[in-house]
Amino acid sequence: MRRFTNPNPAVPQPAQSFAPLKGAGFSPYIDVAESNWALAPEILSAQERICHPERSEAQSKDLLLSPRHHISLQKNNRVPRVSFLRPGIALASLLLLSVTLLPAQTTPPKPPPLTVDRDPVRSPDADITKAPTGDITKQGGGFVVHADVEEVSLNVTVLDGKGQIVQDLKKDDFKVLEDGIQQNLLSFQHADIPVSIGLVIDNSGSMYKKRPSVNKSALDLILASNPKDEAFVVNFADDAYIDQDLTSDANKLKDGLAHIESRGGTALYDAVVASADKLAADARRPKQVIVIITDGEDNASTLNLEQAIRRVQQLSGPVIYSIGLLFGDEMSRGEVRHARRALEMLSGETGGIAFFPKSLDQVDEIAAEVARDIRSQYTLAYHSTKSTSDPGFRKVTVIAQSKGDGKLNVRTRTGYFPSIKNAKPAATPAGH
């Protein structure tokens, strides 16, 4: 079983949100793989009884040891793990286990100091030690500082005044600004390159009657994409499950979409961040996309909207396309407005677009438009003029101009956070 490697040991990282996705969860749970295997059924049952007191102990054990809970990237050696308990439930579970499984004399571990940032997304005021500006080497009669700089890749969609995709631009037609400073483009590409796609599908109770149409549209999107694309399926409600890992096999993706349970709430933000982490860790394609299909606002995540967006930006993460099924009378106007704003922000900040069909009949057409948008993008890359040791969000603006096309509208991510690399000690000049 693969374990999450903390990229920044100074910032404690929480448990996984769903077993196959590494480094993406935000509520503590008991890792059975780390415990005495003989006690696994008791641990699982204790947690399940707290979540569902109406079930008998035997029912809890049978349910938790069912194939759906045996989620692992290694299909032949599956390890049962409980995914994504809410913080209060997880705490109650730990207290129950400390009474039933641990010796009475056991002293509870000392909690970490309040100055330690335990949030899954690094806080803006986190203590970050600034790295030196770079390595110092002697050249000629002086010394030269070599600073680490960020290589930034942007997926860019260009539209004309009528909203049609523009596909005949050249490298010189683009200008890229970072925090207002023009950058020099290193590379320019306009080709139908393969991508890695995360299909993140709402499986909450309100989606039950919509899932057959949604599944067909999601599969049609894959079939309309580059045959070399790879994709995985995440079905989410209160919890998020990866029901099909990365594959180019449409039949396997169809089976993954078929896991329809439609119960519980909507933990959208947690599922998005977990999927972005999954892509960062396991995707084989540098160009990455998340497609969200949901019918409501988030009501079950441990992260809020701003934290979710920040995490995706920290990963220099995927372009997010959202399809919000917000029609009908199941939500109030306020709930619809809030859900719409959240999807627009998730997509807009990452360079994607949010769609809001008026009926299920329009979803298939939208899926085809998303596939067309992905395959028509330009890819631009540049080296930032700033050192990676300079922290903070960097705003990116892309301008496209071409004679005869009039005013062009450009869609790409709004910016990124630099990757903080381990500092290297500066070389000591000879004679010092």
Q: State the DSSP string of 340-357.
A: HHHHHHHHHTTT--EE--
d(CA 414, CA 109): 43
**pLDDT of amino acid 28:** 32
**pLDDT of amino acid 130:** 39
d(CA 26, CA 425): 35
| Structure-token pair, residue 423 | 């500092």
323 touches 359 (CB < 8 A) = no
Place of tokens 């990282």: 13
Across the chain, which has 432 residues, the per-10-residue mean pLDDT values are: 38 41 36 39 45 49 38 31 41 49 49 43 38 46 54 95 93 97 96 96 94 96 96 95 96 95 90 97 96 95 96 94 94 94 98 97 96 96 92 95 88 89 41 44
**pLDDT of amino acid 57:** 52
| Structure-token pair, residue 295 | 């019918």
For the chain, domains (ranges, CATH) are 1-122 (no CATH), 147-190+378-416 (2.60.40), 196-375 (3.40.50.410)
d(CA 6, CA 10): 9
Q: How far is CA 359 from the centre of its chain?
A: 27
232 touches 318 (CB < 8 A) = no
Residue 59 phi/psi, 5° resolution?
A: -65, -40
Burial-class residue 102 by CB neighbours within 10 Å (0-12, 13-18, 19+).
exposed
What is the radius of gyration, based on Cα positions, of the chain?
A: 24
**pLDDT of amino acid 345:** 98
Helix 363-375 to helix 211-223 angle (10° resolution) is: 30
Burial-class residue 340 by CB neighbours within 10 Å (0-12, 13-18, 19+).
middle
pTM: 0.68
201 touches 271 (CB < 8 A) = no
Burial-class residue 74 by CB neighbours within 10 Å (0-12, 13-18, 19+).
exposed
